[in-house]
Amino acid sequence: MVKCSFCGSDLPIGGGKMFVKREGTVFYFCSNKCEKNQVALGRKPVKTKWTEAYNKLKKTLLTSKEKGETGTGK
């Protein structure tokens, strides 16, 4: 199963979009929303609140905070 390169959700079979950059990087997008955020707006998945990558990072930060390490704050 292919996952969306931006939000991390599974692409529907026969759906979604494959985007290849000139340098050869391949992205898969589940929706136009994800494509626009990545390509047109140049956003990073880890900095966009509704993506899986953001939630994962948030979790990692919270766990490392519990260990006594200082987080980056907001």
| Residues 38 and 29: beta-carbon distance below 8 Å | yes
Site size for Zn ion (CB under 5 A): 5
Region of 2-10, 13-21, 39-47, 58-66 interacting with Zn ion (CB under 5 A)? 2-10
| Residues 11 and 30: beta-carbon distance below 8 Å | yes
4 makes contact with Zn ion (CB under 5 A)? yes
Q: Provide the sign of the torsion angle of the four alpha carbons 52, 42, 20, 25, taken in this order.
A: negative
Min dist CB 30 to Zn ion, Å, is 4
Interface residues toward Zn ion, by CB under 5 A: 4, 6-7, 30, 34
